[in-house]
Amino acid sequence: MKTRIAVLVSGGGTNLQALIDAEKRGELPDGEIVLVVSNNPDAYALTRARKAGIETAVCVKPGMEGKLIEALRAHDIEMIILAGFMAILSKNFVSLYPDRIINIHPSLIPSFCGEGFYGLHVHEAALKYGVKVTGATVHYVNEIPDGGRIICQKAVEIREDDTPETLQRRVMEQAEWILLPRAAQTVANRIRMEKEQ
């Protein structure tokens, strides 16, 4: 049985799209995206999920985590992918899915990560510091924001004339959309093997 995956989103959902496209191409053979959950009812990612025929749920504050747990249980979710999910999950929540939640972060962790570093802010910080190389990281999620074990990383060159927007786009194209589906398959495969033992 394939690993049942939920993808958590908050915004545009280009990383979700990369996952959907990879699954369609047969590059996620050990996993199946069965649910997309957003903490933002207006997220375009929800439209992407609906277009792909994937069930969606919206879980907003207050009580966001309780609603999220309900939705995940209702769909027998075994693995969670944070793909541009802009809320920090509690220690309690994370302990329910040990080594079964992964996150994509748009920098080379441990640079430009942790609380306050999300979305465009990460690229603004990299440009302000003046680093010449940045990238993306996929890691397991634990109780420390962006602090879990690293699964994979990819470096991306920074150009003299970069703006946060041009840099964000290049990091997505050259790193995020490639790394996330690969990491998803690796983890979905491990979970499937564990189940079948």
Does the footprint of ligand GAR cover residue 122 (CB under 6 A)? yes
Please identify the residue of the shown chain whose CB is closest to the bound ligand GAR. Answer: 84
Find out whether 33 and 62 touch, Cβ atoms under 8 Å: no
Does 38 bind ligand GAR (CB under 6 A)? Our answer is no
Measure the CA–CA gap between 109 and 77, rounded to whole angstroms: 27
Distance CA 23, CA 67 (A): 27
Residue 7 or residue 192: which is nearer to ligand GAR going by CB?
A: 7
Q: Coil, strand, or helix at residue 54? A: coil
Q: In terms of CB distance, is 71 or 175 closer to ligand GAR?
A: 175
Tokens 């190389």 sit on residue? 133
Q: Which residues in the chain belong to E strands, given as ranges?
A: 3-9, 31-38, 55-58, 79-82, 101-105, 133-140, 150-157
Please select the residue that binds ligand GAR; options are 84, 135, 148, 181, rule is CB under 6 A.
84
Regarding 177 and contact with ligand GAR (CB under 6 A), the answer is no
Residue 75 annotated among the catalytic residues of the structure: no
Indicate whether 106 belongs to the interface with ligand GAR (CB under 6 A). Answer: yes
Residue 139 binds to ligand GAR (criterion: CB under 6 A): no
Contact set with ligand GAR (CB under 6 A): 11-15, 45, 83-84, 104-106, 118-119, 122, 172, 176
